[in-house]
Amino acid sequence: MDTDKIIKMIKAEMKPSMGCTEPVAIGLAVSNTCTNLSKPAKKLKLKISSNIFKNAYCVKIPNTTEAGIPLAATLGYLLTKPNNTMEIFSGVNDKLVKEAYTLIENNFVEIEAIPSSEFYIEVTALNDTETVTTLTIDRHDNLVKVIKNDEVILNAATNNISKNSKDNFDITQYTVAQLVELAENVDIEKIKFLNEAKEMNLIASNAGLKGDYGMNIGKNIKTMMDKGILPNDLFYYVKMVVTAASDCRMGGGPYSAMTVLGSGNQGFQATLPVIATAQYLNIDEEKTLRAMFMSIIITFRQKFKVGRLSPICGATLSGAASSAAITWLLGGNVKQIEGAMQTMFSNLTGMMCDGAKDGCAMKLSTCSGEAVMAARLALCGSIASKTDGIVSEHVEETISNVARLSQEGMKAVDMNVINIMMAK
The answer to whether residue 135 scores a pLDDT higher than 80 is yes
Give the mean pLDDT of 333-344: 98
pLDDT at 163: 43
The answer to whether residue 171 scores a pLDDT higher than 70 is yes
For residues 219 and 165, the model is more confident at: 219
Which band of pLDDT confidence, cut at 50, 70 and 90, is reported for residue 165? Answer: very low
The b/e string for 345-382 (b: 16+ C-beta within 10 A; e otherwise) is: bbbbbebbbbbbbbbbbbbbbbbbbbbbbbbbbbbeee
Bridge partners (DSSP) of residue 135 are: 122, 145
* Neighbour tally for 82: CB within 10 Å: 7
The answer to whether residue 19 scores a pLDDT higher than 80 is yes
Question: What is the fold, at CATH topology level, of the domain defined by 171-423?
Answer: 2-methylcitrate dehydratase PrpD (1.10.4100)
The answer to whether residue 143 scores a pLDDT higher than 60 is yes
What are the pLDDT digits (tens) for 78-134? 999 999 999 999 999 999 999 999 999 999 999 999 988 789 999 999 999 999 999
Give the mean pLDDT of 157-171: 54
pLDDT at 116: 83
3-state helix, strand and coil shares in percent for the chain, rounded to the nearest 5: 55, 10, 30
Which band of pLDDT confidence, cut at 50, 70 and 90, is reported for residue 424? Answer: confident
Beta strands of 82-212 (E only): which ranges?
109-114, 120-126, 131-137, 143-148, 151-155
Q: Quick check: 205 and 272 in contact, CB under 8 A?
A: yes
Q: Quick check: 392 and 339 in contact, CB under 8 A?
A: no
The answer to whether residue 157 scores a pLDDT higher than 70 is no
Cβ-count burial of 121 within 10 angstroms (0-12 exposed, 13-18 middle, 19+ buried)? buried
Alpha-helix runs per DSSP H in 307-394: 314-329, 334-348, 360-380
The answer to whether residue 215 scores a pLDDT higher than 50 is yes
pLDDT at 34: 98
Give the mean pLDDT of 266-281: 98
Quick check: do 19-155 and 171-423 share a fold?
Answer: no
Average pLDDT taken over every residue of the chain: 94
Give the mean pLDDT of 157-186: 76
Domain 19-155, architecture per CATH:
2-Layer Sandwich (3.30)
Give the mean pLDDT of 35-50: 97
Picking from 218-222, 304-308, 380-384, which range would have the lowest pLDDT averaged per residue? 304-308
Upper half-sphere CA count for residue 288 (Cβ side, 13 Å): 22
Give the mean pLDDT of 264-283: 98
Picking from 151-160, 208-217, 329-338, which range would have the lowest pLDDT averaged per residue? 151-160
Which band of pLDDT confidence, cut at 50, 70 and 90, is reported for residue 168? Answer: low
Domain ranges of the chain: 19-155, 171-423
What are the pLDDT digits (tens) for 388-417? 999 999 999 999 999 999 999 998 888 899
